[in-house]
Amino acid sequence: MTDDPSRRKVLQNTGLSVGAALLSGVPGGHPAAQAAPRGDDPSPVVTLPAGQLRGAVEEGLTVFKGVPYAAPPVGALRWRPAQPHPGWSGTREATAFGPSAPQLYREGGDAVLGTHGSPPFDEDCLTLNVWTPRADNAKRPVMVWIHGGGFISGSGSLPIYSGETFARDGDLVVVTINYRLGPLGYLYFGEDGASGNFWLTDQLAALRWVRDNIAAFGGNPDDITVAGQSGGALSVAALAGARPKGRPLFRRAILQSPPLGLQIPTPAESLQRSATFLEILGVKDVAQLRTLPWQQLMGATVEMFKRTGRWGYWATPYLPVLDGVTLDRHPSDLLLDGPGADIDVLIGWTREEANFAFALNETYTAATKDQVLPRVRDTFGNRATEAYSAYEEARPGARPVDVLMDLISDDLFRMPALALAERRAARKRPVWAYQFDLPTPAHNGQLAAAHCLELPFVFDNFDKWSHAPFLTGLNPRVRDGLTATMHAAWISFVRTGDPNHHAMPSWQRYERDSRTTMSLDTVTAATGDLAGYWRRLHQSTAS
């Protein structure tokens, strides 16, 4: 078998040296590092239909924090779709973040990402935050960021997701949101005409708020990009199916490591999972659940991991549901026709996604070939032995856990993302693809180019990531060069629908005849059919 170029480090003769990457411009004549002038008012006030908001000026940007976009989902509204916020009288202070959605929390976090959500937590969490160069009439492009976290963690107020860098460097208006997580966002009970996906109703409410209010913050409601990573990227795809009255909710989408390989449960399957949750807590129905404090609900998540987990699969105790009301198809299908067909899409993955969850887990690092083969058989059926050998040969010195991790990366992230790019290209719909290839030396290189590793490069904010062990040891020169390239590409896409800028090689759309995929590494280079061997291997099994 030939060596797989997407799984080895090769410095190519073509492409951009990291030292040449500069944040000095983007297509369309918009300077990438020049924000609008700072406003003179240190306490800017905007007037919205819900009432007045007072923000603050922080390092030259106008910032509004903890802005409610929906009614608090508490009491009788727990496990109900998001409801309109009633508004307020007088001027509401918007200078402090609102509480994060309730979630599990461990001081110090884990050995990969560190922490991903910090107190305070509260069910009254449906707020958003806005960064803008100035609350004026400039009609700037808008970027809405949806955090990931396996459907159980994260917050729009985390410093790592601050909109500061994008607002300043791209002259953009940036919005980050909180939404319900874990059991409060993802349990399904078949109430209210079988509606579910309360997390999705939150996000839709936030997008409608942005569409209706962002002009007051200097943004253009007709020029919105929704971006997200991991579970947040799956959210972006799910939102593409929204059929709003009037203008679309957004025109561009950035999907970073979307887990499109997840099988979304049916209502019956989701009800069974909810029954497991009820059993753990010893209650008989959702009415009793509504009487319990959220802390008790979060505590049941530990047992949910144990009861719903499967060996060789990424643990997801809570999942969306195909309820037929808020979600009637797999999210990836929603970017192919209907409202989602006309959305510009930028999609990508990291080369070793699954190393994030498995590379440091002793249960998996000690796995044998006999343990891994049944998991390979789940994907490849009677071709499991052949597929195992293919994955083994692609990594010199591969252990069984390496085969497993590469298979999970392909099953959950890379192959379904490629399939979406293939299907959009076949329909002549715009899509750009990338693979993040730069490995981290942390943990003796065991994590490689793991899930989440591209985030600080995209946001250009390594100073906010001091808590994250998986960034230890990165070469500053390599890090900063690739960061400049990626950050400017994301800004360009938000501004123009095209990620190209002058300080990187030409990034062509993903087309069926070329399959251009940008390899983001020490040398950034456009590669034709980067994962072609693996795509054909998986396609032959599917057929």
Q: Where are the alpha helices (DSSP H) in 395-531?
A: 400-409, 415-426, 455-459, 476-496
Q: Catalytic: which of 353, 392, 422, 454?
A: 353
Contact assessment for residue 352 and residue 449, using Cβ atoms and an 8 Å cutoff: yes
Active-site annotation holds for 270:
no
Q: Give the span between the Cα atoms of 1 and 370, in whole angstroms.
A: 22
Q: Give the span between the Cα atoms of 296 and 377, in whole angstroms.
A: 39
CA distances from 48 to 124, 157, 226 (A): 21, 22, 22
Q: Give the span between the Cα atoms of 99 and 156, in whole angstroms.
A: 10
Residues 415-436 as b or e (16 or more Cβ within 10 Å = b): bbbbbbbbbbbeeebbbbbbbb
Through-space distance between the first and last CA atoms of the chain, rounded to whole angstroms: 22
Q: Catalytic: which of 451, 487, 501, 538?
A: 451
Contact assessment for residue 373 and residue 388, using Cβ atoms and an 8 Å cutoff: yes
Which region, left, alpha or beta, applies to residue 203 given φ > 0 means left and ψ of -120 to 50 means alpha? alpha
Give the three-class secondary structure for 165. Answer: helix
Residue type, 369: K
Q: Catalytic: which of 6, 155, 230, 257?
A: 230
Residues 239-250 as b or e (16 or more Cβ within 10 Å = b): bbbbeeeeebbb
Q: Give the span between the Cα atoms of 302 and 164, in whole angstroms.
A: 35
Give bridge partners of residue 347 from the DSSP assignment.
Answer: 255, 433
Q: Give the span between the Cα atoms of 262 and 316, in whole angstroms.
A: 9
Cβ neighbours of residue 455 under 8 Å, at least 6 residues apart? 160, 229, 256
CA distances from 438 to 255, 414, 454 (A): 19, 16, 9
Cβ neighbours of residue 343 under 8 Å, at least 6 residues apart? 240, 248, 250, 251, 252, 253, 335
CA distances from 220 to 201, 331, 466, 499 (A): 23, 26, 34, 20
Active-site annotation holds for 107:
no
Q: Give the span between the Cα atoms of 167 and 132, in whole angstroms.
A: 6
Active-site annotation holds for 502:
no
User: 3-state SS of the chain: helix, strand, coil percent to 5?
Assistant: 40, 15, 45
Other beta carbons within 10 angstroms of residue 308's beta carbon come to 16
Q: Which residues are catalytic?
A: 230, 353, 451
